[in-house]
Amino acid sequence: MSLPCMNCKTAVPQDKAKFFAEVFLCESCHLQAEHFYKRLLAELNFLLTIAKETIRLSLVQGKFAFPEGPAGEPSKRAVLEEIMRLEEARASHNKERACAPTQSSEPSLPTAPSKGLPAAEAPASSNKDSTPG
């Protein structure tokens, strides 16, 4: 007995049936769904790593401040805006370090993926010649 794949509607023999998130699929659609899901997981983990490193850098520099909502918890929008602000600050910091190379024991931070956070231009600094302290 064959049932149709919920995605592509092709007949699926009983011994070849697969499920993804409780959806009946053929092998091909299942493989595509699994691949896409694993890729998304990898991107999310990369974004979490960037967020953690950006927060770490801000904490080390003594510049970490987080806006709080009325209940003491930040809104999702505030969290995303703060991550973007921190990413812009990190990019600006890296750009300034590239302009004035110095010996540093700080590890370099990963860059944001093109699909994750929207690309934002680093704010122009009027004091590019001075070394960060």
Q: Which residue has the higher pLDDT, 125 or 61?
A: 61
30: pLDDT strictly greater than 60: yes
Q: What angle do CA 43, 45, 48 make, to 5 degrees?
A: 110
Residue 10 is part of which domain span?
A: 2-28+45-99
- Say if 127 falls within a structural domain: no
What CA–CA distance (Å, rounded) separates 104 from 57?
14
In a domain, 16, yes or no: yes
Residue 88 lies inside a defined structural domain of this protein: yes
Q: Is the pLDDT of residue 95 over 70?
A: yes
Is 38 contained in some domain?
no
Q: What is the pLDDT of residue 96?
A: 78
What's the total number of domains in the chain?
Answer: 1
